Structure 1
């Protein structure tokens, strides 16, 4: 960036022309990748994290500067390994000499009937979806607390932890922990550096699998107040807002089109009964 180019809001927030963001689970072209792209557009150098999708991550990183005018790097590791969480963050910080943003986007979810869930499966859900997020945040905090401009950590939760649906009895508890973790980390890390903020985004239906029928899509759209299914861009915009706003911390923000508060059947019943 030339000296005459105006800084973006994110660059102003972190008092540098070269803020650095690490986004876990951003190797494959899913929500994490879209978040990484949005942060790049807003002026960040981005470190993509992948476990098995390293080829896709490296292919994306190779085109980053041409596409967004910012550089990208790739780190690899399984979040099932506690030590890998620290290593991933250390490598990300080493790539560009600092770390301003961590987005804990990596997660696993597979429908499993309650009767078939094993203890090992439950522990794996908590390890990847909860424990790894906490360990990565702690590691990132070591860098951010020492920076005058602090930093920002964004955890990805799930809107449906308050209205869980069937066949995800291991997934939802692991995501429910993210809400309390976010508040706890905001207090712990904010006490070390008041410029260090921790927040959470809780996506609603934003990235449906390819096998979802048009009928299901229509039903999901009707279950929201805005009448549509969301997009990964909706989540990425919310993440960027929380990174830029220095007066918001410890917040869990639903990005669900109002689905968490909307009860269409109840409203219809009210109309029928007068």
Structure 2
């Protein structure tokens, strides 16, 4: 069986490929994905906006473990900042092999109160920000002999949306089409570039969640199991390292997108 470095060398042409994880500053899904990829042989470019201090602390911790990592700040609602972000990452590491788009905003507002500014804010980060990150990373990947891999993070609830998040769901609903389109755009330029997406269920509970709420959320799944960010990170690694999968939107939701328990909740 080949070693991790041999496997990554064969897949990416480098024994220590570079993974960019957007939205990996705060202690949420992005950070979990970044740490998981670091454990599996990847050098890590952490991205954050408001939580850059946390991203820098994570990068320092990884460096202490002998894993090359660096934090970068950017507002993904600004196209120019995205271009500067990826210029800086590529200049520092010399390559970009993987992009995982976990950065997103999630805001509650009654449908009748949503303004054009609200809708644009959701689209600027969740849709346009993801698109331009893919574009910036994809430009580097198509120039690399082995290409690269992009994983977008969507939301299972676009299939069964709940009230008071209309602007969010409309913005997140673009990701499956974007994923398929960019898989074609980049794959036809370099067959080694793959683009996939994950549609996660509730893999993190809010700090204030009661045991009763967590129990209800478990019962709403088919697998009767509490979600965990590690499940999503495991799926990310699969999509990164399987060279025969592209254009796929994979639910990681415990079966919630296909199962209605009869008990409605707007908790995700």
* TM-score class normalised by the smaller sequence: over 0.9
Rg bigger for which structure? Answer: 1
1:35-50 equivalences under 5 Å are 35-50=33-48
2:221 aligned counterpart, secondary structure: coil
TM-score between both structures, scaled by the size of structure 1: 0.92
Distance change (3 Å), C-alpha of 1:265 and 1:230: same
- 1:191 and 2:188 are equivalent in the alignment: yes
What CA distance in whole angstroms lies between the structure 1 residues aligned with 2:76 and 2:191? 28
Q: Which residue of 1 aligns with 2:172?
A: 175
2:170 aligned counterpart, secondary structure: helix
Q: RMSD over aligned Cα, in angstroms? A: 1.5
Q: Which of 215, 218, 242 is residue 212 of structure 2 equivalent to? A: 215
* Offset, 1:12: 3.2
Deviations 1:145-193 (A, max 9, x none): 0101100011000001000011111100110100100000000000000
Q: Which sections of structure 2, spanning at least 5 residues, go unmatched? A: 264-268
2:188 aligned counterpart, secondary structure: helix
Question: Is this contact kept in 2: 1:8–1:43, CA < 8 A?
Answer: no
TM-score between both structures, scaled by the size of structure 2: 0.94
Q: Which sections of structure 1, spanning at least 5 residues, go unmatched? A: 267-274
How many residues are paired up?
262
* Offset, 1:66: 3.2
1:247-262 equivalences under 5 Å are 247-262=244-259
Q: Which residue of 2 aligns with 1:97?
A: 94
Is 240-249 or 89-98 further displaced after alignment? 89-98
- 1:80 and 2:77 are equivalent in the alignment: yes
What CA distance in whole angstroms lies between the structure 1 residues aligned with 2:3 and 2:244? 26
Question: Is this contact kept in 1: 2:200–2:251, CA < 8 A?
Answer: yes
* Offset, 1:5: 6.7
What CA distance in whole angstroms lies between the structure 1 residues aligned with 2:189 and 2:4? 31
Question: Is this contact kept in 1: 2:161–2:169, CA < 8 A?
Answer: yes
What CA distance in whole angstroms lies between the structure 2 residues aligned with 1:201 and 1:5? 27
Deviations 1:12-47 (A, max 9, x none): 311211200110000111100010111111111100
Distance change (3 Å), C-alpha of 1:41 and 1:11: farther
What CA distance in whole angstroms lies between the structure 1 residues aligned with 2:4 and 2:20? 24
Q: Which residue of 2 aligns with 1:132?
A: 129
Q: Which runs of 4+ in 1 moved over 6 A?
A: none
1:1-274 equivalences under 5 Å are 7=5, 9-67=7-65, 69-265=66-262
Is 11-20 or 182-191 further displaced after alignment? 11-20
